[in-house]
Amino acid sequence: MISIKALMMATAAAVVGLGVATSVPSEAEAQQRRFIAIGTGGPTGVYFVVGNAICRMIHKEAAEGRSEGRHHGIRCSAPSTGGSTYNIGQISQGELDFGVAQSDWQYHAYNGTAPDRVLPVPELRSVFSVHPEPYHIIVANGAEIESFTDLSGKRFNIGNPGSGQRGTTEVLMAAHGINAGDFALATELTSTEQSKALCDGKIDAYGYTVGVPNSGVAVATDGCDARIINLNTDVEQGLVAETPYYAFATIPAGTYKTTSEDVTTFGVMATFVTSQAVDADLVYEVVRAVFENLDDFRRLHPAFANLDPEKMIGNGLSAPLHEGAVRYYTERGWM
Ligand code: GLU
């Protein structure tokens, strides 16, 4: 199978090739071009917007062929992927330069504390955190499910391997003492497939860790009256109390057609990560592009509206900050 990176470089090379007639890059410019890949999640998720928003800020600043701007030579692509733990694995292999990952899986990858769920990656480095991600249980209209334990005997989507929600769902199952065999059916659909499957009556519920609001969730809530249930029993309270990466979260009333009241659940942060092996100048330029254009960035998704640099450089980050990021934050006087 051709790797994401090889595919991206071929595409980028083709695009550069098309431009030959109008502007021939000088030898020095061409040599300086650097292609980076950011791992995201399913195409209807918020990670996909995060990755592509970062690329947009980078390209906005790429001023080759213009008289003003930053001549960093970076070309960026943010393909759809399987999600958090997939991204972390690919970063450790050098197949992805950056990726978006849930704060719980960042923690476990860096510390090597859940080797059966995410590869231990001691060279993982954090860059910044983005939006909060409440863990949602979304249940079909008419399904008699009011709590996590009501999922026993039901058809439940536990998520595709490689996704953050797959891991978090398994943690929750273990905490509630539920095995995959307790469900009538445990499916492994992707985030893009799950809402349609719910509305088509193929599953009764799914678990999803995602920013709010999200168009994929809306397909189920607004499209076929699915509901999001509360998750605030002793079990979730225990998880929040015992771990540094879970916190209670609210999905506000009015977010979706069927959220007539606030929903209380637990959640994580979406974080942007890389590897120690990635060049510090490159990380510096990526971070700089995002923070110099943060107002534009915030406008690209409602989940980004409240992004605050002070929180972004600390919240949800357990792997050490990459030195390229530290350089920029220090220059800005934030560290
Ligand atoms: N939290 C999900 C994951 O780690 C992805 C959510 C999204 O795509 O926005 O796989």
- CA of 162 from ligand 1 middle (Å) equals 10
pLDDT reported for residue 71: 83
Q: Is the pLDDT of residue 5 over 80?
A: no
Which sequence spans correspond to the domains of the chain?
4-131+270-331, 134-268
Q: Which residue has the higher pLDDT, 51 or 66?
A: 51
Long-range contacts of 91-94 (CB under 8 A, 24+ apart): 91/39, 91/121, 91/124, 91/273, 91/274, 91/275, 92/119, 92/121, 92/123, 92/124, 92/275, 94/275, 94/277
Give the model's confidence band at 27: pLDDT under 50 very low, under 70 low, under 90 confident, else very high: low
Number of the ligand 1 atom closest to the C-alpha atom of 164: 4
Handedness of CA 217, 220, 222, 226 (dihedral sign): negative
Residue 64 CA to ligand 1 center (angstroms) comes to 33
How many angstroms separate the alpha carbon of residue 248 from the centre of ligand 1? Answer: 18
Residues with CB under 6 A from ligand 1: 41-42, 45-47, 83-84, 102, 133, 163-165, 191, 209-211
The atom of ligand 1 lying closest to the CA of 209 is 1
CATH architecture of the domain covering 4-131+270-331: 3-Layer(aba) Sandwich (3.40)
- pLDDT of 311 reads 97
CA of 18 to the centre of ligand 1 (A): 34
Question: In CATH terms, are 4-131+270-331 and 134-268 the same topology?
Answer: yes
Dist. CA 258 → ligand 1 center (Å): 22
Give Cα 25 to chain centroid, integer Å. Answer: 34
Instruction: Categorize the per-residue pLDDT at 6 as very low, low, confident or very high, splitting at 50, 70 and 90.
Output: low
For 209, list phi and psi in degrees, rounded to 5.
-100, 115
**Domain 134-268 bears CATH identifier 3.40.190.10:** yes
pLDDT at 223 over 60: yes
